[in-house]
Amino acid sequence: MPFDVLYAGQTSRAFAVRFNGTVHAYLNRCTHVAMELDWQPDRVFDASGQWLLCASHGAAYQPDTGQCAGGPCQGGLVKINVVDKDGVVCWQTAYNLKPLAF
């Protein structure tokens, strides 16, 4: 599920995934080169469904933590805290993470 955030003052893409029943959200920005991970629009899981995979050079991230699991990534994805209450998922702001202004 893609969504937009204001990260460090810039409009940025983010995404949320459900993995093993729990929702996790991250900034959609690879730590190798600041590119979106998607290998197809809004597709970030590898074929096995076990890893978040960057389409550019194959960096793999753990879906539940965002930590680098292999490939050229350098550190973990920027995690966005979420609250899943009765099936309604909301992401939480942080000092460098804000909603877009309308």
In the complex, the residues that contact ligand FES under the rule CB under 6 A are: 30, 32-33, 35, 54, 56-59, 71-72
Nearest residue to 7 via CA among 24, 23, 29, 22? 29
Question: Could you give the 3-state DSSP secondary structure of residue 58?
Answer: coil
Closest CA to 38 of 91, 49, 30: 30
Dihedral sign for Cα 88, 34, 19, 68, please. Answer: negative
Pick 21 or 41: Cβ nearer ligand FES: 41
Beta carbon of residue 36, minimum distance to ligand FES (angstroms, whole number): 9
Output the smallest distance, CB 37 to ligand FES, in A: 7
Residue nearer to ligand FES on the CB measure, 61 or 80: 61
Closest to ligand FES by CB, 24 or 36? 36
